[in-house]
Amino acid sequence: MQKRFYFILITLSIIFFTVSISPASTVPGNTYQVIDAQNQTTASASLQVIGPNLCDSTGAKIQLKGISTHGIQWFPEYINTDCFRFFRDNWGCNLIRFAMYTEEGGYLSSNEKAVQLKALIENGVQSCTSLGMYSIIDWHILSDGNPLSHVEEAKSFFNGMSALYKDNPYVIYEICNEPNGGTSWNDIKAYAEQVIPVIRANAPDAIILVGTPTWSQDVDQAAANPISPELSHNVMYTLHFYAATHRDDLRNKLMAARAAGLPVFISEFSTCDASGNGAVDYNSANTWFNLIKENNLSFAGWNLSNKAESSAILKPGTISTTGAWTDGDFSETGILLKSLMADENN
Q: DSSP class of residue 201? A: H
User: Strand pairing partners for 134?
Assistant: 95
Dihedral sign for Cα 274, 180, 203, 114, please. negative
Residue 221: count other Cβ atoms within 10 Å of its Cβ: 20
Would you put residue 108 in left (φ > 0), alpha (ψ -120 to 50) or beta? alpha
Residue 338 CB-density burial (10 A; 0-12 exposed, 13-18 middle, 19+ buried): buried
Q: Which are the contacts of 185, defined by CB distance < 8 A and separation ≥ 6? A: 212, 213, 218, 221, 222, 225
User: Strand pairing partners for 330?
Assistant: 314
- Provide DSSP, 265-294: EEEEEESS-TTS-S---HHHHHHHHHHHHH
SS3 81: helix
**Residue 260 in contact with residue 245, Cβ under 8 Å?**
no
State which H helix or E strand residue 222 sits in: helix 219-224
How many whole angstroms separate alpha carbon 314 and alpha carbon 303? Answer: 9
> Can you give the three-state secondary structure of 141-194, one letter per residue?
CCCCCCHHHHHHHHHHHHHHHHHHCCCCCCEEEECCCCCCCCCCHHHHHHHHHH
State which H helix or E strand residue 48 sits in: strand 47-50
Which residue numbers are catalytic?
A: 178, 268
